[in-house]
Amino acid sequence: MLRLTVSTEEYLMIGEDIRLVFLGGTGKHLRIMVDAPRDKNIVRSTVLEKNATEQERAQLPRYYAQQEHPERYVKREAGKAKAQVKRCPQR
């Protein structure tokens, strides 16, 4: 999995024909625009989970929120102990 920090109106290309444009956001919400050919099926995770059977739900990928800034990026004050960082298990 790739985790990026992007600015408003930056975009990512997936292959040669899919573009994700980041339009900005507030708090916990992010607005994106997906520019893809009509033959590509694009579905929100909430719709997949709502319409899936129990067996299909068990096979869907799960993503867990991670701390915004991992320990190696957090500035520490002199003389203080390392902060406790709870990490998600690696897949």
The total number of structural domains in the chain stands at 1
Is residue 88 domain-resident?
no
Is 63 a residue whose pLDDT tops 90?
Answer: no
Is residue 70 domain-resident?
no
pLDDT tens per residue across span 39-52: 998 888 888 888 88
Q: How far is the C-alpha of 73 from the C-alpha of 66, rounded, in Å?
A: 14
> Is-above-0.85 flag for pTM?
no
pLDDT tens per residue across span 3-39: 888 888 899 999 999 999 999 888 888 899 999 999 9
Is residue 31 domain-resident?
yes
In terms of residue numbers, what domain contains 33? Answer: 1-60
Is residue 55 domain-resident?
yes
> What pLDDT is recorded for position 75?
65
Is residue 19 domain-resident?
yes
Is residue 85 domain-resident?
no
CB-based burial, 27-47: b 16+ in 10 Å, e otherwise: eeeeeeeeeeeeeeeeeeeee
Is residue 44 domain-resident?
yes
